[in-house]
Structure 1
């Protein structure tokens, strides 16, 4: 009996370690999941002509009642809902918003952040790719920037082209969480929107991500479920095959 109980407890422990993040908040337009102690995933929806209603991920890093949001929801209404939830549920003031590339699923709700006085920070390539009618981020950087939220550091890094010419990743070192945005595919995903993609460089860029951030434990793609470095391997293999 004692042996049975020991194995039962071990099984429960392993199951808990492998469990997927659960929803902390869910409405028709917004889902929030907690990835780690200071990291959250926000999920909102974009209606597209080619793929129908698509779930879009963003990352939130919080510390000491401050938050940085990576990628806006696709519209202002969902962005307001997200900002309000952070204030109400976590007591956090959003101190910065960072898009990972120039598409609508990263910047569609930017006006809602600006209306709250929240500064937006983007790769200069992203700013250059936006058309003259777009709402522009307030600040730009070239290849790499360190941001501070509370007492924590978050890295934003441009490592090359892939899904778009401007796609960046965000990495939270203290909890080893990497937000790959649309540069990274969920497991078993198709290639998705390739309209602005660089198929020749995509797998090379993923290799640079893996080499520079080898201690990554959690990987959050632009669409679909979070996982581990298997998402990086899957994406790299997919686009290596494309090149051949």
Structure 2
């Protein structure tokens, strides 16, 4: 009965993105499309203050994949409980899209819950070098996941925000999770400590060519949007 009521609630949202489903001091969860949701947690930084950090939840049937952990174990545990208790789904995989703490800061909580993790081999290498929680299995360049009956594509298009940043694409609902490689509209360049700014624009151009049909784009920080976020990011880092 609870799942039926939740499904009816989802239908009532229609095409309205970012309808809040859960909110606490540590974590918010909002709708993006029928079977995708944005989870947002918070990271205290020296340079930018308290920063909201996005991840993505993809659902198919009774299975869920999560892209990027919340920023710490407590908010990750909260997300795991929400998927279990509200979506009534099993988390089949966690994918950090690069090695920074806003992507894998809560990885230990997922491993403790028996949830497997999968990442770019470069992410595993960089996480190990930086004494961070390390994803369990790796892929090179590209891979795909089966979540329920639906495919999610994972690809490394090149360097940008980091040397390991990958994106995830959910063809069934044309949802692209760009992570910190993609900026929200009107954003600044942000943290560049591990960036390749010379390659960034070309990397985004490759994403645009590979995924011309995109309804929703989720950046690592800030508001989700559409393909305009890709073009904005490409131009932001274009060589003068």
TM-score of the superposed pair, with normalisation by structure 1: 0.91
* SS, match of residue 153 in structure 2: strand
Alignment match, 1:10 = none
Q: Deviations over 1:200-227 (max 9, x none)?
A: 1100000000000000110000001110
* SS, match of residue 166 in structure 1: coil
2:36 to 28, 36, 39: 39
Q: Deviations over 1:35-64 (max 9, x none)?
A: 111111000000111111000000010111
Shift, 1:174, TM fit:
0.5
* Paired residues for 1:173-212 under 5 Å: 173-212=171-210
Q: Partners of 1:144 and 1:20 in 2: how far apart?
A: 28
Alignment match, 1:154 = 152
Alignment match, 2:113 = 116
Q: Deviations over 1:67-114 (max 9, x none)?
A: 100000110000000000000100011110000000000000000000
Alignment match, 1:234 = 232
Shift, 1:135, TM fit:
1.8
* SS, match of residue 109 in structure 2: helix
Shift, 1:65, TM fit:
1.2
Q: Deviations over 1:183-209 (max 9, x none)?
A: 000001000000011011100000000
- In the alignment, does 2:102 pair up with 1:94? no
Could you say which structure has the larger radius of gyration?
A: 1
* SS, match of residue 201 in structure 1: helix
Q: Deviations over 1:110-157 (max 9, x none)?
A: 000000111000000111112263221100000111101111100011
Alignment match, 1:62 = 59
Long gaps (5+) in structure 2: 1-12
Alignment match, 1:83 = 80
Shift, 1:20, TM fit:
3.8
Could you list the runs of 4 or more consecutive aligned residues of structure 1 that deviate by over 6 angstroms after TM superposition?
none
Shift, 1:22, TM fit:
1.2
- In the alignment, does 2:212 pair up with 1:214? yes
Number of equivalences: 227
Alignment match, 2:4 = none
